[in-house]
Structure 1
Amino acid sequence: MFYGAVVWDPWLIVAQIVCLQCAYYLTLGFFLSILVWTRVSRMSLVYFLDFSSITASTVTGCAGYLVFMIERAKKCLDFSVTLFVIHLCFCMLYGGWPSSVTWWIVNGTVIAIMALLGEYLCIKRELREIPITRLRSNV
């Protein structure tokens, strides 16, 4: 989707980071609406950004987005870590430094899973055969 022929394009990289960050928060919102909506009377940013609300049962992931937005296996780790560094900055602005060990374990695990699964899916996509059609007339 965003892969270009130019090796260094900062606007492309920023666009990929912004799209991945938006997709992350949309997916997180979807999962939180399913998992948390039934237990709380009102959803708020606390469930997105407060480190104390993250528990071992929180489920998120964006590895599938890496295939369509990043398209290169060697960039998956970079974009996964960038996503969570930006998320860490948002969490720090909202509620301070995350002091919960569970928050760090959950986010570290999600970074690893997202990077590894994203690389696997990108490699699988890159190794697909390129269809070559032969134009022959049946005479």
Structure 2
Amino acid sequence: MFYGAVVWDPWLIVAQIVCLQCLYYVTLGFFMAILVGSRVPRMSLVYVLDFATVTASTITGWCVIAAFLLSSIAGAVYLLYLIERAKKCLDFSATLYIIHLFICILYGGWPSSMTWWLVNVTGVAVMALLGEYLCIRRELREIPIPRYRSNV
């Protein structure tokens, strides 16, 4: 992808948002299955979408928190490969978590837990900052130029 010519492509942006959201939820489900699935008799969407399960008062709640934070770290890696630009990491991270907020509101109402808000704000920050760091490191790599030597 060439970055010199700025072309606004809304279909690309929507596709990137959908891919990022899907990858985030797949990763969150994976971490929930590992961390929370071993502690509860039956997994359900409650652990992903209900704000009441994000609590620091139980071991299961701490596992839910860990799953959310690990998913935000994985989301930063997804930003590196899907978005590829440090300038756009905050936008896509915030969009992901805003969509997650709307889905949570539809599922269980307005999140009234301070822990839920703290975990999600921390998730946005980790995902955006780590994603920017990874993208900047990639953008600042030297461009390899092969040197051809003639054996004359």
Q: Report the TM-score range of the alignment, normalised by the length of the smaller protein.
A: over 0.9
| Aligned positions, number | 138
Aligned to 2:138: 125
- 1:19 aligned onto 2:19: yes
- 1:68 aligned onto 2:81: yes
More helix by share: 2
- Aligned 8 A contact 1:3 1:71 in 2: no
Give me the whole-angstrom Cα distance separating, in 1, the residues matched to 2:134 and 2:26.
Answer: 21
Aligned to 1:100: 113
TM-aligned CA distance change 1:30 to 1:86, over 3 Å: same
- Aligned 8 A contact 1:55 1:106 in 2: no
Aligned to 1:29: 29
Unmatched 5+ residue regions in structure 2?
A: 57-61
Instruction: Decide which moves more: 16-25 or 55-64.
Output: 55-64
Give me the whole-angstrom Cα distance separating, in 2, the residues matched to 1:46 and 1:6.
Answer: 42
Aligned to 1:84: 97
CA RMSD of aligned residues (A): 1.6
Aligned to 2:59: none
SS at match of 2:146: coil
Matches within 5 A, 1:35-74: 35-56=35-56, 57=62, 58-59=65-66, 60-61=71-72, 62-74=75-87
- Counterpart of 2:15, as a letter, is A
Once the two structures are TM-superposed, the CA of residue 42 in structure 1 deviates from its matched residue by: 1.1
Q: TM-score normalised to the size of structure 2?
A: 0.85
TM-aligned CA distance change 1:34 to 1:3, over 3 Å: farther
SS at match of 2:90: helix
Runs of 4+, deviation exceeding 4 Å: 2-6
Give me the whole-angstrom Cα distance separating, in 1, the residues matched to 2:105 and 2:88.
Answer: 26
- Counterpart of 1:19, as a letter, is C
SS at match of 1:25: helix
- Counterpart of 1:41, as a letter, is P
- Aligned 8 A contact 1:3 1:70 in 2: no
